[in-house]
Amino acid sequence: GDSVTQMEGPVTLSEEAFLTINCTYTATGYPSLFWYVQYPGEGLQLLLKATKADDKGSNKGFEATYRKETTSFHLEKGSVQVSDSAVYFCALSFNQAGTALIFGKGTTLSVSS
Amino acid sequence: GAGVSQTPSNKVTEKGKYVELRCDPISGHTALYWYRQSLGQGPEFLIYFQGTGAADDSGLPNDRFFAVRPEGSVSTLKIQRTERGDSAVYLCASSLVPSGSNEQFFGPGTRLTVL
């Protein structure tokens, strides 16, 4: 079945370090891909998305490129901040009415100053 | 503007009891989703409403789980004869239109603990 696999955490970085969180997917069709973030004590919120191959989603300094050939959507940021500490979820959804999101297990990022 | 709200934020109940969890979506959003998030896992789909009708309930784990959205706005997730394995955070999300490529807006969740 369709699924998302993301790297296990926790990921611990110092401020200004480079971040990569790997995400790969298995899907029977051509899904849209998402990164959601959950800050401590808050609900899930969309960080970025890409709806077709080679699209790059970006927001708040984070980027991810939809790679169909490697079925990947890795999240990157050039210089992390303490405020980026959160749980990050990679997800996919198909472009049909009402299809739900399929999430990975989440990766906890902890950034220290 | 108001986001998705869920009540209660926490619910502790005893095994075998009945519980109701409420979701108030963003005004005007026609699509509403329920997910369940167990500890250390990503959210898992339970049910999707388009308007008043449950368009897809394939994620409900068994017939103890039921959800309604009688007026196409507020939704209630109902769990009968609760079991300890039902303990999780129950998330509600809404979307302006139901296309899979559109953003779903999530509520803060209800943490259910079954003793």
Radius of gyration of chain B (CA): 13
- Among A94-98, B5-9, B96-100, the range of highest mean pLDDT: B5-9
Mean pLDDT of A30-38: 94
- Backbone conformation region of residue B82, classed left if phi is above 0, alpha if psi is from -120 to 50, else beta: beta
Question: B30 is written with which tokens?
Answer: 């026609």
Chain B interface, best mutation among A99, A105, A108, by max B CB count within 10 A: A99
pLDDT confidence bin for B99, thresholds 50/70/90 = low
Contact B107 A43 (CB under 8 A): yes
d(C-alpha A35, C-alpha B53), whole Å: 29
Position A97 pLDDT exceeds 80: no
Among candidates A43, A97, A100 on the partner chain, residue whose Cβ is nearest the Cβ of B33: A100
Classified as helix, coil or strand, A84 is helix
User: What percentage of chain A carries pLDDT values higher than 70?
Assistant: 99
A43 interfaces chain B, CB cutoff of 8 Å? yes
- Both ends of chain A: CA-CA distance in Å? 41
Summary mean pLDDT of chain B: 93
Contact A105 B42 (CB under 8 A): yes
d(C-alpha B114, C-alpha B108), whole Å: 19
A106 burial via Cβ count (<10 Å: 0-12, 13-18, 19+): buried
Q: Using CA atoms in the order B75, B16, B86, A27, what is the torsion angle rounded to 10 degrees?
A: -70
pLDDT in tens, B32-78: 999 999 998 999 999 999 888 888 999 999 999 999 999 989 999 99
Is the separation of the CB atoms in A36 and A47 below 8 Å? yes
What confidence score (pLDDT) does residue B98 get?
A: 63
Among candidates B3, B56, B103 on the partner chain, residue whose Cβ is nearest the Cβ of A46: B103
Minimum distance, in Å, between the CA of residue B54 and any CA atom of chain A: 10
* Residues sharing a CB contact under 8 Å with residue A64, sequence separation 6 or more, in sequence order: A23, A33, A35, A48, A50, A56, A57, A58, A73, A74, A75, A76
Is the bond leading into B8 cis (omega within 30 degrees of zero)? yes
